[in-house]
Amino acid sequence: MKYRILHRTIYQYNAAVVDSFNELRLRPISSEYQVCHSFDLKIDPRATISHYHDFYLNWVNVFEVSSSHERLSIEADSVVEIMPGLDRPVKATSFEDYRAATLETMCYDFLQSSEYVSTGVEVWRYAMDVCVERRDPWECALRITKAIFDRFEYSTQATTVTTHMEDVLRFGKGVCQDFAHVMLGLCRCLEIPARYVSGYIHTRPGPEGLRGAQASHAWCEIFVPGQGWLGLDPTNNCRVDENYVKVASGRDYADITPVRGTYRGGGQREMEVVVNVEPL
């Protein structure tokens, strides 16, 4: 599948701002199963754009607008092709296989608590309740995916981008970011390496479609020894397939925030985000 993705973010200030410095994680990755054929970034007011790769090898664009402005527009236009095989069959493994493999891979960060993810006692108890019989870690991850889908209500009004996963456990409500954080905590409590993924999904409209389409989406990747990082989406209780476009990954949302910046002045600010995922 090939997609064109338009992601537009507009900030409107009620007073002039200056010295706006921003970093963006909006460029889709290129990997074995995904190729980013083009990426065009437009900033208004005009700015010089540079880039670097962060600790988790995500592509980061940075720019600065020093002059006075009351509106900032950031538009990312991408063409991405997704190859078959993302939802390939998974061979059974054991927790002993995991313990040996994680010592030789970059999994340490994805087994610990992070800014929005906890591995505390209450989270561990919840994980044990979901996975009473712990044999195959991948099977445990599938059970966690289904449990979150079955037990939590999808609600766009219940949380914010800074809501911690422990609060989501108490609320029983949230959106894709919240469900991904909950899944990360439960998996990590069971010593299953899990990382947060940001990106997009494409789906047909209507009640049969995937939740979270035509917006930034979040899901999890689980490390499976000998098979790499495999995607699971607790918001839709499914495996990641050709409908998903991956942009960045990290410990949680704090590592891969799509647009982050600072500025001086401005007073109150309004933000508008528009995402369009179109098959080509």
Co-location of 72 and 118 in the same domain? no
Residue with tokens 């600065």: 64
Does one domain contain both 99 and 209? yes
CA distance 214 to 271: 17
Task: Show Cβ contacts of residue 143 under 8 Å, excluding neighbours closer than 6 positions.
Answer: 130, 131
| Within-domain flag for 89 | no
- Considering the domain architecture, whether residues 127 and 244 belong to the same structural domain is answered as yes
- CA distances 113 to 97, 219, 244, Å, are 22, 17, 26
What pLDDT, on the 0 to 100 scale, is given for residue 275?
94
Contact (CB, 8 A) for 122 and 166: yes
Question: What separation in angstroms does the CA of 110 have from each of 105, 212, 238?
Answer: 11, 24, 21
Number of structural domains found in the chain: 2
Same domain? For 23 and 149 the reply is no
**DSSP annotation string for 212-230:** TTTS-EEEEEEEETTTEEE
268 and 213 in one domain? no
251 and 264 inside one domain: no
The CATH number linked to 102 is 3.10.620.30
Q: At what angle do helices 176-189 and 137-151 cross, to 10 degrees?
A: 140
Co-location of 139 and 193 in the same domain: yes
Distance CA 143, CA 163 (A): 24
**Cα–Cα dist 81/33, whole Å:** 8
Cβ(17)–Cβ(68) below 8 Å: yes
Residue 88 in any domain: the answer is no
Q: Does 149 fall in a domain?
A: yes
Same domain, 146 and 223: yes
111 shares its domain with 222: yes
Q: 28: which 2 tokens?
A: 């889709």
Note the pLDDT of residue 133: 78
In a shared domain, residues 179 and 220: yes
Q: Give the domain CATH number at 60.
A: 2.60.40.2250
Whose tokens are 């064109």? That residue is 4
The H-or-E segment that residue 156 falls in is none
The CA distances from residue 223 to 91, 102, 106, 110, in Å, are: 12, 9, 10, 9
> What phi and psi values does residue 216 have, to the nearest 5 degrees?
-65, 140
Same domain? 186 vs 240? yes
In the chain, which stretches have pLDDT less than 70?
103-104, 204-208
Amino acid at 180: A
**Beta-bridge mates of residue 224:** 228
10 lies in which domain range?
A: 2-83+257-279
Task: For residues 114 and 221, state if they share a domain.
Answer: yes
Span 194-214, pLDDT tens digits: 999 999 999 865 556 788 777
Kind of pairing, strands 153-154 and 173-174?
parallel
State the pLDDT at residue 204.
63
Helix (H) or strand (E) holding 124: helix 121-130
